[in-house]
Amino acid sequence: MKKGIKRTLALVFAVTLMISLFSACTGKNSQSTPGKSETSPASSEQNNQSESSAVKTPLEPVKLEVMLWGDKPNQFDEIVDEFERQTKDTLNIDLNVTWTPLADYGNKIKLMLSAGQKIDLAFDAPWLNMPSLIANGSYIELDKYFNNDQYPGLKKAFNESLLNNNKFAGPDKQQHVYGVPLGQGYAPVYALYYRKDLAQKYGISEIKTYEDMLAYFDAVKNNEPGITPYMFNKDQYPPAWIIDGNRAIKIDQAKNKVWEVSTGPSGVAKLYIEDNKIKAAYLPGESTDALKDFPAPFNTIDYTTNEEILNWHEKGYIESNAINRKDAQDQFTAGKGGSYLQTLDSYVALENALKAAVPGSELGVYVYENNVRNMEPASLITEFKFWNFLSIPATSQNADRSMMFLDWIFANQQNHDLFEYGIEGKNWIAVGDDKYKLPDGVDPGQNYVFPGYQLTWNPNYMRLAEAYPQDVVKYYGYVAQDTTFLKHISSGFSFNGEPVKNETANPSFAKMAADNSGFELGLIKNVADNKAKQEQNLLKDKRLQEDIQKIKAELVQQLQAFLDAQ
């Protein structure tokens, strides 16, 4: 018996002891941060004029915890080492970047904040956590770091109007900078990529108009049975983009003082605004009576685009059911798609993939928005907003140092390019001031490719790959000019959905979006009838109607207040 007790107890103790011992040990280990105490005097090897004026005395070492998403780029550790080597005597930062898959990134940030973990810089965006984290005070205001001579790099890269357009309303209802805005342009130029070799085979030398495009689709449909004329992913670029783009609907609306403003998951509202006063508003899902005060022809719902989509479907220009399509780009580059929609900067990637898979193929580009194609002014509507930001949580102790780090990156082209492109000569070669190419013999699959939109993108420091043809490059010049853009009336405004959080969480909105995809894919015949039926059903949903009215009222109130303050 005694032996029995001993052995039982011994085992119980052993197991629990083992567990706690090991976890304690390794727990302690993870906490000790190796301090890099460099005491060598400051003679930085890099010619950082802007830096030497800002930082005179050597700083204590600081470890910055940066949260970014996606895969860790190849050779990233080497770039960080190089950065730390260059700034050892000036910034003295131990840079630690954690990469998390995007699907989990949003939640992980929230969890880390809940547990009080150290985050100094985090990527965030209006489509991610920014609205809720700004509203509950998780991010600090960064206004004081900009237009500040202590941070010349930031001052140079971010001008007044850029900042003003990328402010958010904080808990104090005032507009502040809550994130460093990262972007290369205010609006991308979208284009329809097509198979020039096929077009030429069927007598169309180049697609220059909408009719040319339809002729191309016909030719492909009738002569190439294995190729779908227009290939798209269900959630990405449905035919409506091209059709609407061609009709220049948004520009038309804007010229008639009708503007679209997003309310988040509850849809995109249309507002009729005259002399900075909101005269009428409509949120999809509510009765079309709300449209009657809009100027014609915007006072009724127009189904022309849906009819045209159905037409495309019946003519066989699109797949019979694209609902499960997720790899449209791969299909196009493998030769199974006749055309594909993407931004202009995908040109090089698409061309490489296409040429590799389909011998004798040639990539053609058709910019389907007529005004844009002709490079006319005031053709792209924009709020001058960027979509990617770097924010600093309120729990960080190193806000100043983090901003100094960013100041360094934006101080000059050299610093910027270190992170954006890698080590010069090894990962890339400069071609002039604004282009670059890969060194010979470098395997693109193993090379350093950094997601600039998370740290480095800025309109002042852009380089284009040398391989872009002049056709594409000219559009980059076009979007670099301010005159190209038509300023959206709500520039600088972002809807704060917190007061109507429960209303926007109404599952009917998600269901509405899911139902609309049937129309978007051309799967539903008798468009007018079925749309009317859909409307009837939505009107019957009392809760939805109540929620829509509440959200609309909130939007109008917020937007009007914003407009009044202009």
Partner 1 sequence: MKHEGIRDLAKNRYIYLMTLPALLFSLIFSYLPLAGIAIAFQDFNPIKGVFGSEFIGFRNFEFFFRGQDWFIVTFNTVFLNILFIGFGTLLSITLAIMLSELGKSLFVRGMQSIMILPNFISWPIVGLFSVAFLTADTGTLDGLMKGLGISDAYMDSSIWPVILLLFSLWKGAGFGAIVYLAAIAGIDKGLYEAAKIDGASRLQCIFRITLPMLKSTIIMLFLLALGGIFSGTLDMIYSLVGDNSFLFPTTDTIDTYVFRTLRTQGSFGMSQAIALYQSIIGFILVLLSNQLVKKFDKDSSIF
Partner 2 sequence: MRLSSLWSLSTLFYILTALFSLFCVYPFVLVLTSSLTDEVELIRNGYSLFPSNWSIAAYKAIFSTSTIPRAYLVTIFVTVVGTCISLIVTSMIAYALSGRKLYYRNHINFIFYFTMLFNGGLVSFYILVTRYLQLTDSIWVYIVPFVLNPWNMFLMRNFFNEIPDELYESSRLEGAGEWRILWQIVLPLSLPALATIGLFYALMYWNSWQPALLFINNDKLFSLQYIIMQIIRNIDIAQNIAVTSTAGSLINTQRPPAFTVRLATAMVTIGPIIFLYPFLQRYFVGGLKVGAIKG
The answer to whether residue 507 forms part of the interface with partner 1 (CB under 8 A) is yes
Stretch that binds partner 1, among 5-13, 443-451, 467-475, 477-485 (CB under 8 A): 5-13
Give the contacts of 453 (CB within 8 A, at least 6 positions apart). 182, 183, 387, 388
In whole angstroms, how close is the CB of 238 to partner 1 at the nearest point?
A: 13
Q: Looking at 26, 107, 147, 537, which residue binds partner 1 (CB under 8 A)?
A: 107
Element (H, E) at 158: none
Q: Looking at 278, 515, 531, 534, which residue binds partner 1 (CB under 8 A)?
A: 515
Give the angle 490-496-500 at the CA atoms, nearest 5°: 130
The answer to whether residue 16 forms part of the interface with partner 1 (CB under 8 A) is yes
Q: How many residues bind partner 1 (CB under 8 A)?
A: 46
Nearer to partner 2 by C-beta: 310 or 328? 328
Nearer to partner 2 by C-beta: 24 or 394? 24
**Could you give the CA distance from residue 530 to residue 487 in angstroms, rounded to a whole number?**
36
Residue whose C-alpha is closest to residue 90's, from 61, 119, 122? 61
Q: Is 163 helix (H, G, I), strand (E, B) or coil?
A: helix
Element (H, E) at 374: none
Contact between 508 and 545 (Cβ < 8 Å): no
The answer to whether residue 147 forms part of the interface with partner 1 (CB under 8 A) is no
Q: Looking at 27, 35, 101, 137, which residue binds partner 1 (CB under 8 A)?
A: 137
Give the contacts of 531 (CB within 8 A, at least 6 positions apart). 301, 303, 306, 519
Q: Which residues pair with 93 in a beta bridge?
A: 62
The answer to whether residue 228 forms part of the interface with partner 1 (CB under 8 A) is no
**Could you give the CA distance from residue 169 to residue 16 in angstroms, rounded to a whole number?**
51
Give the contacts of 230 (CB within 8 A, at least 6 positions apart). 217, 239, 242, 312, 317, 318, 337, 338, 339, 340
In whole angstroms, how close is the CB of 395 to partner 1 at the nearest point?
A: 7
In whole angstroms, how close is the CB of 175 to partner 1 at the nearest point?
A: 21
The answer to whether residue 238 forms part of the interface with partner 1 (CB under 8 A) is no
Element (H, E) at 438: none
Task: Show the binding pattern over residues 412-441: x = contacts partner 1 (CB under 8 A), - = does not.
Answer: ------------------------------
Nearer to partner 1 by C-beta: 496 or 506? 506
Stretch that binds partner 1, among 126-134, 332-340, 526-534, 554-562 (CB under 8 A): 126-134
Nearer to partner 1 by C-beta: 136 or 483? 136
Sign of CA dihedral 536, 539, 542, 547: positive
Nearer to partner 2 by C-beta: 115 or 514? 115
Contacts to partner 1 from residues 315-334, by CB under 8 A: 320-321, 323-324
Sign of CA dihedral 244, 246, 251, 257: negative
- Residues forming contacts to partner 1 in the complex (CB under 8 A) are 4-5, 8-9, 12, 15-16, 106-107, 110-111, 113-114, 116, 129, 132-133, 136-138, 234-235, 264-265, 320-321, 323-324, 394-395, 501-502, 504-508, 510-511, 514-515, 517-518, 523, 541, 543
